[in-house]
Structure 1
Amino acid sequence: MRREIFRMERVEAEELLGRAEVVHVASTTAEGAPLLRAVHGVVVRGSIAFHGAPAGEKIEAVGRAAVVSCEQIVASIPSYFTDPARACPATTLYRSAQAHGVIERVDDPDHKAEVLEALMRKYQPEGGYAPLDARSPLYRKAIEGILVLAVPLERLDGKAKLAQNRAPEERARLLTKLWERGSPGDPEAIELLRGACPDTPVPDFLRAPAGCALACALGPRDVDAAVDLLEGAYWNQGVPREVIARAQLGSSAWVGARDAAGRLVATARAVSDGSKRAWMFDVMVAPPLRGLGVGEAVVRLLLAHPAVCGARHVHLGTQDAHTFYARFGFRHRADLPPPPFTSTEMVLARG
């Protein structure tokens, strides 16, 4: 790799390759003609594996060198983020992984079943099928007949081009520009950039009380910790953990705070149409950090989130935190000017 500052750790590259919806396999036929295919792949037993029909060009590549690659576009950076006139600064932030190896045919029935089961778990995670077993009468003939190929990850390179080559102050400005633009994926891009460049100064919108760091885009890895914080809340009494978890992942905006050890200590989320209305839910701070300004910082971050800040009305319900939310301008509905029409709130209760 020409620029070592962009190199990813092998474990990160393997994770990216295994998580990619589609991977690209490049090889040659027996005649030396180029062969390029997009496939669904999984990492099993130290190889990237995929399946196909037992006839066709893919089988001609068995025993031949191959390159398997995938990419993740993190953010497109327009030129005017940096320069008001010149087009040259336009760029793309991305992560990619590229594996080199020799295509092997997988013939062992148990190994084939393991690959096919991994594919099902990846692309049909909700289940709804009998687990694949090479000895099962449901699958024995199908597993015998299907082609499974694998490329051992003999050499695996990962590249994360996340502004590591820019000055820290320039990266901080870039984070602010991404936050202000607020395109889908920009909050997640901010978190990736901060992780790749920990020396980046904290931009104003992410400033937090001492000992904490704000996160503008929580994700699947934060679900368990968030549910641990929320499970005992009065509004979640009787709500199963999995329902609380799905609510976090289904939110338009999900922010939080971590302590110095990286533990999630605060969470807040919102559902929003981005224009007319947004609803805030599940605002929670770990008890030891209450009264230190963490909750206020998290709520301010949520209200400034690109998915929320454009909403004309932001709604919430609270039993005992009226004074806290009044600091941000929230008022009792009865204190607001009445709408120019009368209506009755209706609810479809499904559980």
Structure 2
Amino acid sequence: MQLTGVLQIRSYEKIKEFLNEEHVGRVSSIDPNGFPQIIPMNFVFLNDAVYMHSHVKGEKLDNISRNNKVGFEADRELEFLPSYFEDPHNASLADTLYISVVIKGMGFFVSDREEKTLALNGLMEKYQPEGQYDPIQSNMRVLDAVSVIKIIPQTIHGKYKIGQHMRPDDRIDLAQKILERNSASAIQTLKIMGFEVTPMGLKMTDEPVW
């Protein structure tokens, strides 16, 4: 069975929702020798672009200055599925439920102070939603002490694997096994899969289609 199409996230709103929830993304730039350099970064997705803040000097900044074609990726492992869910003797059947988004685009350094302020305040709102800070203003000197990298996407591809490729009975069976294994992420994974844990057992609340 070809899963490529089945696993594709078709909803741009779902992609934005995922990026707004994830705290770590990875930006890839090309070094002077043609090798990719991959760095984990905090980020915010605003106005259809990725924004990250950085020191004013560094290898990734040099790379983007020289070649501004970049990659960006964010992912979330929802649940590891041990091989014994299928066959206690066949390790190759181990699998993972996940969500991921991959962007190819162009990287720029934001120089406009209003846009830089928008990005930095967007980062604060994302990572410190409880507030308790003074919003950054465009006339503050702190803007000169940081770089803001903007990635304008050329392509965005999202994938998710939450059992949507399985027959309904098999999905329910998988959900029950996840519940019984009782990992730290099990309840949240089941919710994303469209199940609710009730005193009577598992209940399918919807059929998630992204």
Aligned residue number for residue 152 of structure 2: 152
TM-score for the superposition, normalised by structure 2: 0.86
Aligned residue number for residue 55 of structure 2: 53
Alpha-carbon offset, residue 30 of structure 1: 4.3
Following superposition of structure 1 onto structure 2, how do residues 130-141 of structure 1 map, counting pairs within 5 Å? 130-135=134-139, 140-141=140-141
Give the aligned length: 198
Aligned residue number for residue 43 of structure 1: 45
Gaps of 5+ in 1: 196-203, 208-212, 216-351
What is the root-mean-square deviation in Å for CA atoms of aligned residues? Answer: 2.1
Aligned residue number for residue 116 of structure 1: 120
In the alignment, the residues of structure 2 paired with residue 192 and residue 125 of structure 1 have an alpha-carbon distance, to the nearest angstrom, of: 23
Give CA deviations for 1:300-329 in whole Å, capped at 9, x if unaligned: xxxxxxxxxxxxxxxxxxxxxxxxxxxxxx
Aligned residue number for residue 184 of structure 1: 184
Give CA deviations for 1:145-197 in whole Å, capped at 9, x if unaligned: 311111112211110011222222211100111122222111221122227xx
Rg (Cα) greater in structure:
1
SS in structure 2 of the partner of residue 35 of structure 1: strand
**Does structure 1 conserve the Cα–Cα contact (< 8 Å) formed by 2:76 and 2:99?**
yes
Alpha-carbon offset, residue 44 of structure 1: 1.7
Alpha-carbon offset, residue 81 of structure 1: 1.2
Aligned residue number for residue 83 of structure 1: 87
Alpha-carbon offset, residue 54 of structure 1: 1.2
Following superposition of structure 1 onto structure 2, how do residues 1-351 of structure 1 map, counting pairs within 5 Å? 3-8=4-9, 9-60=11-62, 61-62=64-65, 63-135=67-139, 140-194=140-194, 205-207=201-203
Bigger relative contact order, structure 1 or 2, given CA contacts below 8 A and separation 6+? 2
Alpha-carbon offset, residue 74 of structure 1: 0.7
SS in structure 2 of the partner of residue 133 of structure 1: coil
Identify if the C-alpha distance between structure 1 residues 16 and 129 changes in structure 2 by more than 3 Å, giving closer, same or farther: same
Alpha-carbon offset, residue 111 of structure 1: 0.4
Supply the AA of the counterpart residue of 1:205: G
**Does structure 1 conserve the Cα–Cα contact (< 8 Å) formed by 2:73 and 2:102?**
yes
Give CA deviations for 1:214-255 in whole Å, capped at 9, x if unaligned: 69xxxxxxxxxxxxxxxxxxxxxxxxxxxxxxxxxxxxxxxx
In the alignment, the residues of structure 2 paired with residue 170 and residue 67 of structure 1 have an alpha-carbon distance, to the nearest angstrom, of: 36
SS in structure 1 of the partner of residue 93 of structure 2: coil
Give CA deviations for 1:72-128 in whole Å, capped at 9, x if unaligned: 111111111122322222101000011110111110001001111111112222222
Identify if the C-alpha distance between structure 1 residues 16 and 81 changes in structure 2 by more than 3 Å, giving closer, same or farther: same
Supply the AA of the counterpart residue of 1:160: Y
**Does structure 2 conserve the Cα–Cα contact (< 8 Å) formed by 1:14 and 1:97?**
no
**Does structure 2 conserve the Cα–Cα contact (< 8 Å) formed by 1:95 and 1:158?**
yes
In the alignment, the residues of structure 2 paired with residue 23 and residue 40 of structure 1 have an alpha-carbon distance, to the nearest angstrom, of: 6
**Does structure 1 conserve the Cα–Cα contact (< 8 Å) formed by 2:28 and 2:37?**
yes
In the alignment, the residues of structure 1 paired with residue 172 and residue 109 of structure 2 have an alpha-carbon distance, to the nearest angstrom, of: 48
Gaps of 5+ in 2: none
In the alignment, the residues of structure 2 paired with residue 28 and residue 84 of structure 1 have an alpha-carbon distance, to the nearest angstrom, of: 43
**Does structure 2 conserve the Cα–Cα contact (< 8 Å) formed by 1:206 and 1:214?**
no
Alpha-carbon offset, residue 2 of structure 1: 6.5
Supply the AA of the counterpart residue of 2:31: T
**Does structure 1 conserve the Cα–Cα contact (< 8 Å) formed by 2:26 and 2:41?**
yes
Supply the AA of the counterpart residue of 2:6: I
Aligned residue number for residue 263 of structure 1: none
Alpha-carbon offset, residue 55 of structure 1: 1.1
**Does structure 2 conserve the Cα–Cα contact (< 8 Å) formed by 1:109 and 1:144?**
no
Higher percent of residues as strand: 2
**Does structure 1 conserve the Cα–Cα contact (< 8 Å) formed by 2:106 and 2:153?**
no
In the alignment, the residues of structure 2 paired with residue 33 and residue 84 of structure 1 have an alpha-carbon distance, to the nearest angstrom, of: 41
SS in structure 1 of the partner of residue 76 of structure 2: strand
**Does structure 2 conserve the Cα–Cα contact (< 8 Å) formed by 1:10 and 1:157?**
no
